[in-house]
């Protein structure tokens, strides 16, 4: 059985710090990765040393399904763990029809409150599932982050979301599971 290895907070801090020092400007994390605190410390260290400003960094994090019942608290908890005043992009990590609309609405309120700059989705693979959420909310998802790669190009979904102005961002872009 394969067990997922998570980076320690120290590894996350150092990875983010050195990535920013080397010119990276997009940081993508998630509550479920268990590294938001380390990511935040790496960002703060880089900002404190003066080779990057917070405004030059684009920080993405994701709300995990266990947090959908209290999305407002989940947003605040991510902000606290990251040590940031705002998050550039927060994404719902997975489709969960029983409560993802309410979680998304909490993210919409966080946009209105200045806590989030923009919002999106991840792991929504069917047009009907995407539409279900979009038709129940007011802010269109800026992006959808799905597994896409040469073996799973998701052309139908890309075409579907284009009508909303939503773009697809890939995770696992070089091959995916069982295609390494």
- Contact partners, residue 97, CB within 8 Å, separation at least 6: 129, 132
Nearest of 121, 72, 71, 74 to residue 95 by alpha carbon = 121
Residue 120 and residue 91 in contact, taking contact as beta carbons nearer than 8 Å: yes
> Could you report how far apart the first and last alpha carbons of the chain are, in Å?
18
β-pair type (143-147, 167-171) = parallel
Whether 33 is catalytic is yes
Tokens read off for 17: 């710090």
- Contact partners, residue 66, CB within 8 Å, separation at least 6: none
Catalytic hit among 33, 86, 125, 164: 33
| Residue 140 backbone dihedrals phi, psi, to 5 degrees | -70, 140
**Alpha carbon of residue 88 to chain centroid:** 9
Residues recognised as catalytic: 33
């Amino acid at each position: 059985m394969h067990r997922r290895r998570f980076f320690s907070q120290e590894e996350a801090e150092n990875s983010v710090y050195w990535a920013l020092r080397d010119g990276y400007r997009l940081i993508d994390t998630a509550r479920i990765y268990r590294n938001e605190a380390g990511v935040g410390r790496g960002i703060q260290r880089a900002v404190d040393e003066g080779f990057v400003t917070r405004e030059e960094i684009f920080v993405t994090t994701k709300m995990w399904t266990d947090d959908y019942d209290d999305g407002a608290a989940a947003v605040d908890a991510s902000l606290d763990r990251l040590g940031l005043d705002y998050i550039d992009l927060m994404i719902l990590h997975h489709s969960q029809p029983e409560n993802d609309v309410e979680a998304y609405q909490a993210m919409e309120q966080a946009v209105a409150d200045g806590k989030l700059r923009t919002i999106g989705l991840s792991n929504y693979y069917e047009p009907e599932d995407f539409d279900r959420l979009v038709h129940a909310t007011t802010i269109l998802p800026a992006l959808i982050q799905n597994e896409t790669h040469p073996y799973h190009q998701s052309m139908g979904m890309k075409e579907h979301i284009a009508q909303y102005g939503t773009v697809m961002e890939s995770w696992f872009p070089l091959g995916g599971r069982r295609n390494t």
